[in-house]
Chain A
Amino acid sequence: MNLLIALLSEGANLLWFMIVLPAVVGILVWIFREYHLPRLLLVVSSAMINLVCALSLDQAEGFARSFSFGPCGLELAFRIYEFSALFLTLTAAAFLLVSLYSVVFLQDQKSAGLFMFYMFISLAMINGALLSDNLGVMLFFWEGILCTLFGMLLINNLHQPKTAVRALVLSGTADLLLMLGIIITVVQAGTPKFSEIQRLPITGVSAVGFLCMLLGAVGKAGGMPFHSWIPSAAEDAPTPFMVAFPGALEKLLGIYLSVRIVTDLYDLQPGSGMSTAVMLLGTLTIIGGVAMALIQKDMKRLLSYHAISQVGYMVLGIGTALPVGILGGLFHMLNNAIYKSCLYMTAGSIEKQTGTTDLREFGGLAKRMPLTTACFTLCALAIAGVPPFNGFFSKELVFDAALESNTLFYLGALLGAFMTAVSFLKMGRVAFAGELKLPMGKKTIRETSFGLLLPMGVLAILCLVLGVVNTWPLDQLFGSALGITEVYSGWPHSTMLVVVSLAVLALALVDHIYGCKKTGSALQAADHIYYAAGLKRIYQAAEQGWFDPYRWLVSLAGVFSDFCVLIERQVSWFYDTAAVKVLLGTGDRLQQANDGSLSRYLGAALLGAAGVAVIFIVML
């Protein structure tokens, strides 16, 4: 304990501690992987210590520390300041809940120890990435998360690592772009230090660097076009993974970097072409993600598409480059982390009880799982943007910024909000309302365990609290961290926006009822959109994966690999046949020439002497 105090007393040590503690705990968890109780205690206590550390860093004045190591002037530069301390705290808080949920969820499973090991290593990496003041060091931690991600996806699917490979390829591409962007940025700025780069103008090469970095950051958050591994991960990754990574931690990290790129590294002007491009990316992500969510019949898959879609709001908000947009984007990120994690958790609870998340197989759980239903409802209301939940306020801020920038994007975002509401109406009604329906083989179900309910409940209540008391997050947390003096908290300033949003929600309700009437079932309530003229084609194409960049990459890679196979054949022919034949043949010839005759030996030696003479003559 003394050691801990000593460690905590010095701020610089705390920086190290934030990285070393999770790594060490990860290893300890893996060592005690056989025992549930020590694991639980270890995980919860260390997650709490992590949170305490983060909070104390948040309280401290901003400062920077460099630890030089290695021969080539490499240094490990860390810096803590308000913004990163805020994210550190948010991460720590999210991690506490997520890890509690995970450790309870996985308590009977063999892979729990390994999973928690990866979780803690990921936390170490995330902390490192948030703390580092050097772009290169940050990239190192960033890539570390990719590794742990790959490991976690492999846990249950060692023999069919399709999803893991897909995630590796897509996230890897995103990270590659990030790396490229970082290289360009460092070259342009002349320094690898975050704190020394002063808002580079986005022109020429810098524009490429900006775009690459932003794509890399958004890609980590799960935005288009690096999203398609998330839905497939929903199918075969453990639910805690979905809660932790696409739900909360990756979003935090990706949005953190995006905001820093837009506000610190580069000078993104509102209304500029680059801003429009980013907003377009955000809008496309919103619509694309939610449109696919609409027709999903599996809870986790549906939520995954929402996870993608929600990133769009954040990117849209950040892309406006207006303070209100950035603030909205950040707030939305926080809200999304809360309600999306909670939603995943409810899906996980249902999975734990019923054994499935396929909406066609169960329904009417409200009576048997009232608390889960309540959590779900709160979060669904929040994600749909119903006042006074937190999602409403953040969405309004994003809408405000989008309307100020470009009406088209505002309309796109509205469309997204509409479809979000529709899809959650559908899911909520199917899963919880109506008569109890259980999958084959299940007779009865119970409410889920306390360990799972606790984080869910906390998160669900937070949804309401943060909505009602939005002054605190908006002004105290993000506003002061970003240095925004204007006050955006409280009820939205523009009544028109609120009216339109409420109208959209009402429209969604009407649409849902219409859908139910038409098809006779809540499950297919959204299917009329699917069957609408023209849209069906697009959906079919989407279902076949035509919009999946992974597939594009794969088919592109297919052509490339055919080409490579052609070359490879020639090369392997050269290696396996030609080179061997030539070498062995030469060896044989030499061997035949060396027939043991002394005359030949002498002749060869004299020829050698003549050869040396020739070398001398040539050199003369």
Chain B
Amino acid sequence: MWFCLGSVINLPGFGWEIMMLIIGFLLIIAGAYCIIRTYHLLKIIIGMEIAMKAVTLLIILAGLVNGNLALAQSFVITIIVIEVVVAVVAAGIAVSLYKKYGSMEIRNLRKLKG
């Protein structure tokens, strides 16, 4: 992995902007992968958080690219606030589910289907 990154760094025309973009995408993939594959409710929240980190990165990158970093910053602050509230709500629901089922198992959530 390091090798991969290292080779990218040395390529001409590849500033850290492109690196940020690629790492942002990779982190979104990692987050989505986490949400899809895990069996643990809280891990889903972690996956969501990781994806949101990547989105934050992309927004800051966008501000950088168009030179409007101040606006991007204000976006990021708002996103962080929302992100936290969503995380709290998700954790609250997960804990409530834990109280019902006695586990954080996602496979409990099969009552609603069809």
Contact = CB atoms under 8 A, between A and B. Distances in A.
Interface in B9-66: 32, 35-37, 44
Interface string A317-342: 00000000000000000000000000
A605 to B, nearest CB: 10
B40 to A, nearest CB: 12
A598 B37 CA distance: 10
Interface string A588-605: 000100111111001100
Nearest to B38: A599
Nearest to B107: A597
Contacts of B106: 598
A598 B114 CA distance: 13
Query: Interface SS of chain A: helix, strand, loop or mixed?
Result: helix
A596 B36 contact: no
Given A598-B106, A599-B37, A606 B32 contact: yes
B110 interface: yes
Of B35, B36, B37, most buried by chain A (CB within 10 Å of CB) is: B36
B4 interface: no
A594 B32 contact: no
Contacts of A603: 36
Contacts of B37: 599
A597 B36 CA distance: 10
B36 A602 contact: yes
Nearest to B35: A602
Interface string A565-605: 00000000000000000000000000100111111001100
A597 B114 contact: no
A606 B51 CA distance: 14
A598 B41 CA distance: 11
B113 interface: yes
Contacts of B35: 598, 602
Contacts of A606: 32, 36
A592 to B, nearest CB: 8
Interface in B91-113: 106-107, 109-113
A595 B36 contact: no
Interface string A331-372: 000000000000000000000000000000000000000000
Contacts of A598: 35, 44, 106, 109
B49 to A, nearest CB: 16
B113 A594 contact: yes
B36 A599 contact: yes
Of B106, B110, B113, most buried by chain A (CB within 10 Å of CB) is: B113
A596 B107 CA distance: 9
Contacts of A597: 107, 110
Contacts of B32: 602, 606
B113 A595 contact: yes
A606 B33 CA distance: 11
Contacts of A594: 113-114
Given A596-B109, A598-B106, A598-B109, A591 B36 contact: no
Contacts of A596: 109-114
B81 to A, nearest CB: 25
Interface string A413-443: 0000000000000000000000000000000
A603 B114 CA distance: 16
A602 B34 CA distance: 11
B77 to A, nearest CB: 28
B37 to A, nearest CB: 7
B47 to A, nearest CB: 10
Contacts of B110: 595-597
A595 B111 CA distance: 9
B30 to A, nearest CB: 14
A490 to B, nearest CB: 96
Contacts of A595: 110, 113
B74 to A, nearest CB: 28
B114 to A, nearest CB: 4
A552 B25 CA distance: 78
A594 to B, nearest CB: 6
Interface string B78-93: 0000000000000000
A597 B38 CA distance: 11
A595 B113 CA distance: 5
A595 B106 CA distance: 13
Nearest to A600: B36
B7 to A, nearest CB: 28
Given A602-B32, A603-B36, A591 B109 contact: no
A460 B106 CA distance: 102
Contacts of B113: 594-596
A537 to B, nearest CB: 74
A602 B106 CA distance: 13
A416 B78 CA distance: 105
A591 B113 CA distance: 8
Nearest to A601: B36
A597 B39 CA distance: 10
Of A594, A596, A598, A603, most buried by chain B (CB within 10 Å of CB) is: A598
List the 6 closest pairs (A to B, CB-CB), nearest first: A596-B113, A596-B110, A591-B114, A599-B36, A602-B36, A595-B113
Given A598-B44, A603-B36, A606-B36, 4 more contacts: A595-B113, A596-B113, A598-B35, A598-B106
16 contacts: A591-B114, A594-B113, A595-B110, A596-B109, A596-B110, A596-B111, A596-B112, A597-B110, A598-B35, A598-B44, A598-B106, A602-B35, A602-B36, A603-B36, A606-B32, A606-B36
Interface of A: 591, 594-599, 602-603, 606
